[in-house]
Amino acid sequence: MKKLFFICFILVVSVSLYAADQNSTPAPPPRTLFIEGASTRPEHRAYFLASFRREATGTGIDISYNRDEAGYIFRFDVETNIIFYDDGSQRPAPPDEPQHVIRISIFRNTDGLEIVTITFYFSELEEMDEYNQLLFTTAISHIPPERGAWYTRRFDTSWSKNQLFLRTSLDYYVTIFALQPTGLIGGQGVYHGDITDPVYIAAIDHEFVTYPGATVGAEYHPFTHLSIEGNFKVFMGYPGEMWFLNMEAGAEVKVPVILGGYMISPYAAVSIPLNVAPIFTEYPKFTLGGGIQICAGGLGTGAFFVDVKYFYAFQDVYRKNFYGTLAPNPPEIHYKRSQLGIGVGYKFGFFPKD
């Protein structure tokens, strides 16, 4: 059984990784530059464009000739040096002062954020041969260091903005049947004969049942901090019915919160059994509970998650007496049922919000 559960787990994770990779869009390489510039004098533009491209190659930074594929934009603008005087007038700089000014800016391509702007004054292009390397290295030193793809995926929460998620998980449940004293001798004994003068007494105890299961569901996010999930889960086994396949329908109301690169969602839940093992004569119509789900970005528009939950049934479970003719009384044994579960899975995201 454990080997089968492990094989199913590997299969689900593998399919999730494949599907996420098919939907993923690679981000631009973080330290790839697109170099552009403008000037009132064409020879200035040609000179600085060639010079800065040489500097980029010399420092090992990749140059992109497609603006959309670059991580950052390196832009320069060369203009005439204009002097503003106290009387409000403005004129080109006199011959004894720098005649031109170059402004170099670094922009993050994903959102247009201006990282830095540097201004430098000069008169002749020849003198810039001494300063171009300094200007270039000063500007690019403000670009954040490359973190690597794992870092980007870990702290990227764009996947959380999807309006719909389809989830699948492999679960493991511990179902607790807490013995109730109703009809038992000493609160824990089944018996043969009359309760006041039994012929035979057998002690029974609480029951703990652990078996694997799986859950599929759909989660809708109408608001940033509210989501609603409907799900269907199956899990195996009950005392005396180890191969019985339990089926339940459930609903969860979550309050998602983004912390760092994770989405943490505490939730309240209800679960309704769709079938009941034949060993029970009375079974709760529903169970109430809650849990917490922790999600981290996957390789595409979805996320991996760990889900821990707890359910409790307020109505007693009536189980058939399993001692047969040896100790047939009482005919039904009462329990309080609760369940602790942990699941590991993947949720696929669809319809990102604007």
- Domain map (residue ranges) of the chain: 33-146, 158-352
CA–CA distances in Å: residue 146 to residues 72, 76, 102, 273: 12, 23, 28, 51
Return the pLDDT at 74: 95
Burial class (CB in 10 A: 0-12, 13-18, 19+), 325: exposed
Helices in the chain by DSSP H: which ranges? Answer: 2-23, 42-58, 125-128, 132-140, 149-155
Cis peptide, bond prior to residue 256, ω within 30 of zero: no
Spatial distance between the Cα atoms of 291 and 287, rounded to a whole number of angstroms: 13
Return the pLDDT at 308: 97
Q: Bridge-partner residues for 303, per DSSP?
A: 297, 347
- Taking each helix axis from N to C end, the angle separating 132-140 and 42-58, rounded to the nearest 10 degrees, works out to 60
Name residues whose C-beta falls within 8 Å of residue 191's C-beta, 6 or more positions apart in sequence. Answer: 185, 198, 199, 200, 201, 202, 327, 329
Cα angle vertex 304, ends 303, 308, to 5°? 125
Return the pLDDT at 297: 81
Transcribe 270-338 into DSSP letters.
EEEES---TTEEE--S-EEEEEEEEEEE-SSS-EEEEEEEEEE-SSPEEEE-SSTTTS-BSSEEEEEEE
Q: Largest alpha-carbon pair distance within the chain?
A: 122
Pick the CATH number of 158-352 from 3.40.50.11540, 3.40.720.10, 3.40.50.300, 2.40.160.20: 2.40.160.20
Structure tokens of 336? 């309080």
Q: What is the pLDDT along the chain (354 residues), one digit of tens a residue?
A: 444 444 444 444 444 444 444 444 444 445 689 999 999 899 999 999 999 999 998 888 889 899 888 889 999 999 998 888 888 788 888 888 899 999 999 999 888 889 999 999 998 999 999 999 999 999 988 887 765 544 444 556 778 889 999 999 999 999 999 999 999 999 989 999 998 889 999 999 999 989 899 999 999 999 989 999 999 999 987 766 667 889 999 999 999 998 877 899 999 999 999 999 888 999 999 999 999 999 988 777 889 999 999 999 999 999 999 888 899 999 999 999 999 999 999 999 999 876
Return the pLDDT at 239: 62
Is domain 33-146 classified as CATH 3.40.50? yes
Give the residue carrying structure tokens 């604007």. 354
Do 161 and 354 meet the contact criterion of CB atoms below 8 Å apart? no
Return the pLDDT at 218: 97
Return the pLDDT at 343: 96
Cβ atoms < 10 Å from Cβ of 12: 17
